[in-house]
Amino acid sequence: MVFNPINFPVWIHADVLQGPFGEKPSVDMRDFISAQKKFFPRCTLSFGWTTGSHSDLSQSAYSWDTVWDMLDLVNCKNVQNEIVFQARLSLVHNSVPQLKWLVDNVKSSSLMVWHEEGDSVVNEDVMYISYKFPPNTVYFNLNHDRFQLLFNNYRHFSKDKVDPHVLIKDQRVFKLEDWWKMGFYLQNTSVLPSTESIIITSPNVSLMSESTLWPSSNESIQGRIIFFNRNNCESVSLVTGLNIYVSLLQYGDDRSTNSVGIRCFIGIGGEIEVAGVNLPDSIDNFGQAARVTPTPTNCYRFKIVNEGAQILFWVTSLHDCTTLESVSEPEPLTPLLTVPIPADVFSREPYLFTIKMEDVRCQVLIDELRVNKELKF
């Protein structure tokens, strides 16, 4: 018997992880990969999540943990083939940053968006995907003339047709080009960046602002962070969390490992602190601490202003960090901490912001981060 060789592309699909409202996958990943390598070693692998029905999917999403599990699975199995991740259209409204992060961190991967018959779909969601994913990294399997007409008319002008919250998010989203990555990369997963966000998993790396700032009430840093405890570690108060340093340039140039200046800390349990760090012995110790009530999301929005004579530190715990609409900021509040700074710490010296994990007991996602500089004329 003579077998004709396959002379066309082959995709092999399996739902390998449990997704929103989905059941436990029936496919054993180890058997699936073993069979694929034996019979179709050069095929494109298509991985998805099981999903289920619900009366309202508008608040649902492929969560950060869900897409992170997929990244871990691909890395664990050492998959070298091209990969397509399958996502249900009715779930992408609140999932674009997560899915973009996944594709950005898996080599030779792309996204396939599919439509379940009977799902309610908003045109803006299709345009959102089109806007954020380059054409060579996304496929659509929508089976509807309405969507084909939408693509024909607006595929290359999708920004004009997205939900207004997408454009608000564009103004606040983390931009990797505005930051220097510093430190020692002990693992290739120490920093997991994307065009929409960045995840830091190790205290051995840090981010340093490219912009130099000056003490002023008009210059600040603000952002939104989400803590994860992927290794189920017990947190330590005032240790397990994220540091945002006001790094003072007049005290030396090596700021990648030992920041010198003022430490603004946000803990996974809601602890916050402002204190001097690694300053000369001639400067008296100073600092204040407080606590905000954490929420199940482990999500916080913050703002720091260095006025020279004092540091202003706002921190708010958030109940929603997943939906697209959560990009809307709350009304301005009184700073949670207003910390006087000794006169000999600042005069009019320039400084940078440095962001660094304190220990290995948690991981942090930064999906909003911007440095606000005063315009000089």
In order, the DSSP letters of 207-261 are: EEESS-B-S-TT-EEEEEEEEE-TT-PPP-TTTSEEEEEEEEGGG-S--SSS--E
Strand partners, 325: none
Name which of 46, 48, 93 is nearest 69 in CA terms. 48
Read off the pLDDT of residues 228-284 as tens digits, 9 standing for 90 and up.
999 999 999 989 999 999 987 655 544 445 677 899 999 999 999 999 888 877 788
The pTM of this model reads 0.91
Strand partners, 316: 301
Taking residues 82-104, report their average pLDDT: 95
Contact criterion met (CB below 8 Å) for 211 and 369: no
- Measured between alpha carbons, how far is 298 from 269 in angstroms, rounded to an integer? 8
Read off the pLDDT of residues 319-376 as tens digits, 9 standing for 90 and up.
999 999 998 876 667 889 999 988 777 656 788 899 999 888 999 999 999 998 876 5
Beta strand 198-200 pairing with 191-193: antiparallel
What is the token pair recorded at 51? Answer: 């999903």
* H or E element that contains 29: helix 29-39
Contact criterion met (CB below 8 Å) for 67 and 99: yes
CA angle, 59 then 61 then 62, to 5°: 170
- Measured between alpha carbons, how far is 140 from 130 in angstroms, rounded to an integer? 10
Name the percent of the chain in helix, strand, coil, to the closest 5. 25, 35, 45
**Looking at the predicted structure, is the pLDDT value of residue 154 above 90?**
no
Name which of 110, 53, 120 is nearest 82 in CA terms. 110
168 alpha carbon, distance to own chain's centre: 16
Read off the pLDDT of residues 16-49 as tens digits, 9 standing for 90 and up.
999 999 999 999 888 898 899 888 888 999 999 9
- Residue type for position 367: D
Strand partners, 112: 86, 139
